Amino acid sequence: MILRIRNILFIFAVVLSATNLFSQKSVDDKLAIQYFEQKEFEKANVLFDKLYDQNPEQWFTYYFKSLLGVKDYKKSEKICSKQIKRTPQNMALYVYLGKVYKLQENSKKENETYQKAIRLVIPAQIYIQQLAYAFMEEGLNDLAIETYKKGRKATPEYPYYYEIAEIYKRKGDVKAMVNEYFDAVQFRESEILTAQNYLQNALGYDEDNGGFKNPILKQELQKRIQQHPDKIVFSDFLIFIQKQQKDFEGAYIQCKALDKRLKEDGRRLFDLAKICLSNENFEMAQKCYQYVIDKGDQFGFYDAASVDIINCEYNYITQKAQPSIEELTALENKYLKAVQKYKGAHLSNFLIANLANLQTYYLNKAEQAAAEIQSLIENPGLDAQTRAEFKIQLGDIFLIQNEIWEASLLYSQVEKDFKFETIGQDAKFRNAKLSYYAGDFKWAKTQADVLKGSTTKLIANDALDLSLIITDAIGGVDTIDAPLAWFSSADLLILQHKYTEAIAQLDSINKIFPEHTLGDDIFYKKAEVFVKLGKYAEAEKMYQDILQFYPTELYGDDAQFKLAQLYDKKILNPEKAKQSYQDVMTNYPGSIYVVEARKRFRILRGDNLE
């Protein structure tokens, strides 16, 4: 019995002792790290000395850095050597040891130690990367590259192109970096997308602050193409770069050369045409489409190119301030011939849709356009989404003809059928605008307020603008809505391209209702009309009037930015444009236009953004 009690007491004592020891270790751990973080290295070293003996793997790095903190290089060297013996496969430890020699200004032993690490490193990926990372942490980028290149020789199936490229990026050596990515593509052509993604990350996503606009990319690619003319992948890469740099002429030349060389079907040129079109480079888009058409109708892209080239011409003509009746009529005839040629085919739908817009807005043939769109809607083979799009287009045509309730019926059908989709919200907003045009401002505002929460940013912004216009005009309890009724009527006239009548209506508001609150709205609408008519001096005056008399009202920042764009894109006065963009940033720092204004300002100032 006594013996059993003694055994129990002994076990209890052992457990208590172990607990106390563990508790003491925990306290030492925390205290040592606390001293280390507070840079009280002498106090930390007393504790680290014990902790290192107990667990070298866990405490080596802390102890080593703490010893360097008190410049105890002898002890630092000693524990490095000791750790190397424990884990001889960890060549990163030689980098620590080399650092000790560096701090002692012993460059010979330092370099010898680094080279020994590279010489002894096991040529497996995990060890190569471990040593390279250690060199990089010390800023020894050239030695990290040397390490990776040793790994490349030892394991040619994994050549470390991306790792070396990253180091060249750190060094700021763009030429060497891009060539590593090109080497990766030359090594395995399927790497082209990966290399392009890495290049984008390396050069940045701000296309005006470097990115793919860097001229070195094109220079080095052209060298590769000359050195390896059999490698089509480099020509593809160059075309990709040219598209990013918006060098569409160069991309056209390359695409055409490859199409002829490989006897292709014109796909490259067709794809390039769409990119040119999205960038409003209509001339180059037409050139690409024409190349595809000239190849002949035996190729798969012939019909699509034949349709798209007419739509391209439509975009080019209608973006002009005042297109001539001759070019509009010539374009209509092209549409009519194409519609006849592709009658009954899927392509004819898109032709008829654009033809209807041309006839409605530019040729005063809304009735004819409505009949053509109605025939499309009645096509039983049409899918529901496309039918809804044509219903909206027909509603717009009815609106142009002042058949407001017919338009509303069509919009309401789409809204009901696509209640939760974007097209349904678009139809709902058009109905709100209809109420606005018809003078039912309270209902229009109610609908607009609902749509301010739309998931589609464009609809939400338009709804917010409509709500604010109505609130601004009839916000007061005793405010009459007659001025807003005249204003909304003028707005509809603008939509109908009846610009002369619209200007007269807007001017009448000032005469008939001198106490109205629509001053900035009127100036802004008139500026919009003057730009469409190519009367840029008059538009400039309207924007300036807003900035002079209504700088803090709804259209203050809009007017400042639009004025800058007018100088930049239309009047072509870079100095005034630059000042106006700067005024956006200075006077309206919270505006949605600030980012674009800053970008254009820097370009006009002549900053080197490559």
Threshold 0.85, pTM exceeds: no
* Cα distance between residue 372 and residue 369, in whole Å: 5
Is the residue at 551 inside a domain? yes
Picking from 102-106, 239-243, 606-610, which range would have the lowest pLDDT averaged per residue?
Answer: 606-610
Give residue 407's pLDDT: 95
- The least confident of 7-16, 74-83, 143-152, 483-492 is 7-16
d(CA 151, CA 141): 15
Overall size of the chain counted in residues:
610
With 50 as the cut, is the pLDDT of residue 18 above it? no
Q: Indicate whether 509 belongs to any domain.
A: yes
Q: What is the CATH number of the domain that holds 571?
A: 1.25.40.10
Q: Do the Cβ atoms of 341 and 352 come closer than 8 Å?
A: no
453 lies in some domain: no
Q: How is 279-321 classified by DSSP, letter by letter?
A: TT-HHHHHHHHHHHHHT-TTSTTHHHHHHHHHHHHHHHHHTSS
224-230 contacts: CB < 8 A, separation 24 or more?
Answer: 224/182, 224/186, 228/186
Q: Is 88 contained in some domain?
A: no
Cα 115 to Cα 62: distance, rounded to the nearest angstrom: 25
Q: Taking 70 as the threshold, does the pLDDT of residue 390 lie above it? A: yes
Residue type, 89: Q
Residue located via tokens 């619209």:
502
Tokens describing residue 569: 């894109």
Count of structural domains, the chain: 1
The helix (H) or strand (E) run that includes residue 340 is helix 325-341
DSSP-derived secondary structure letter, 402:
T
Average pLDDT over residues 198-219: 74
Residue numbers of the domain that contains 488: 470-605
Q: Could you tell me if residue 556 is inside a domain?
A: yes
Per-residue pLDDT at 571 exceeds 80: yes
| pLDDT the model gives residue 201 | 84
Of 12-26, 45-59, 91-105, 278-292, minimum mean pLDDT range: 12-26
List, in sequence order, the alpha helices (H) in 363-498: 366-377, 384-400, 404-417, 422-438, 441-451, 457-474, 482-495
Residue 475's pLDDT is what? 65
Domain annotation covers residue 500: yes
Assign 217 a pLDDT band (cuts: 50, 70, 90).
confident
Rounded to the nearest angstrom, the gap between the alpha carbon of residue 478 and the centroid of all alpha carbons in its chain is 48
Burial 25-45 (b: 16+ CB within 10 A, else e): eeebbeebeebbeeeebeebb
* pLDDT band at residue 23 under the 50/70/90 scheme: very low
What is the distance between the alpha carbons of residues 8 and 1, in angstroms, rounded to a whole number?
A: 11
End-to-end CA distance of the chain: 90
Domain presence at residue 492? yes
- Which of 12-16, 87-91, 135-139, 514-518 bottoms out in mean pLDDT, i.e. has the lowest? 12-16
Give domain status of residue 437, yes or no.
Answer: no
Distance (Å, rounded) from C-alpha 426 to C-alpha 415?
Answer: 8
Residue 53 pLDDT > 80: yes
